[in-house]
Amino acid sequence: MASLLRLTVYLKRYAWSFWLAVAGMLLSRVFEGMILLFAKSGIDSIAQHQPPLTLGDISCDAARATLASPALCIVL
C-alpha cells in the first residue's frame, strides 16, 4: 500500500488530465451504448414503413422515402 501512496504526487500534479480522461471514457461508453438504440430505432422504422414489394416494384423515390429516417437515426 505504501508504494501506491507514492503515486499521489503524480495524481495531484495531473488531476485535471486524469479526471478529464475518466470523463471522456465514460462519455464514450454512453455513446457506444446509444448505438444500439439508434440501430433499433432504424430497424423498427424500416419494418413499420416498408410496403409489401414484388420483384421490379421498387423505385428510387419509394426507397428514399422508406429508408431516409432510419439512415439519419443511424448516422446521428
* Residue 68: alpha-carbon gap to chain centroid: 18
- Closest C-alpha among 70, 64, 66, 75 to residue 41: 70
CA distance 10 to 61: 60
Three-state SS at 6: coil
Number of domains in the chain: 1
Q: Which domain holds residue 71?
A: 2-75
pLDDT exceeds cutoff 80 at 73: no
pLDDT exceeds cutoff 60 at 53: no
* pLDDT tens per residue across span 35-44: 888 888 878 8
For residue 24, what pLDDT band results from cuts at 50, 70 and 90? very high
- Its pTM stands at 0.47
5 versus 64: the higher-pLDDT residue is: 5
58: cell is 421498387
